[in-house]
């Protein structure tokens, strides 16, 4: 599914062909695996600007004892540091799970050009609460490697329930 933050359906892959989306989502999955290895909820993110990864992040809420230390927040902070500015209009965030409303708000303030996510978050995803939360010019692509991204989170919580 491809939609703009304003709800308009976009019928083509915008900045990159699908192979590029897969390539960068696999990098986000590597970050998610790093989170899982640290016993964090396995969500990973990368920010791509002009064809190269400029920032990476994964959930660090347990390690930092900070409920705002989501993968997206870590990646946004690293990306703005890398670009030297607060706006990421020429960048794309790849994240393994749909951003929560907090992260979507931060993405809106960064004016990120595009958000590509894997698995939908049916409990806490921003589209459930406020689909127009992202900047109006931000383009959204959902469902890239959704099964793999969703399986990481599902498996993590299955293991947690057994403990």
State the catalytic residues: 72
d(CA 2, CA 101): 19
């Amino acid at each position: 599914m491809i939609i703009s933050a304003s709800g308009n359906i976009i019928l083509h892959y915008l900045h990159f062909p699908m192979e590029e989306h897969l390539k960068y989502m696999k990098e986000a999955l590597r970050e998610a695996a790093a989170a899982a290895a640290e016993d964090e909820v396995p969500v990973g993110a990368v920010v791509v600007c002009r064809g190269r990864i400029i920032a990476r992040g994964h959930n660090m809420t347990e390690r930092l004892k900070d409920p705002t230390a989501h993968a997206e927040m870590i990646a946004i902070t690293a990306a703005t540091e890398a670009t030297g500015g607060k706006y990421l209009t020429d960048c794309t965030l790849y994240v393994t799970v749909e951003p929560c409303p907090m992260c979507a708000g931060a993405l809106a303030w960064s004016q990120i050009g595009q958000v590509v996510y894997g698995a939908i978050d049916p409990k806490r995803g921003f589209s459930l609460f406020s689909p127009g939360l992202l900047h109006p010019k931000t383009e959204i692509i959902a469902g890239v490697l959704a099964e793999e991204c969703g399986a990481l989170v599902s498996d993590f919580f299955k293991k947690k329930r057994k403990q």
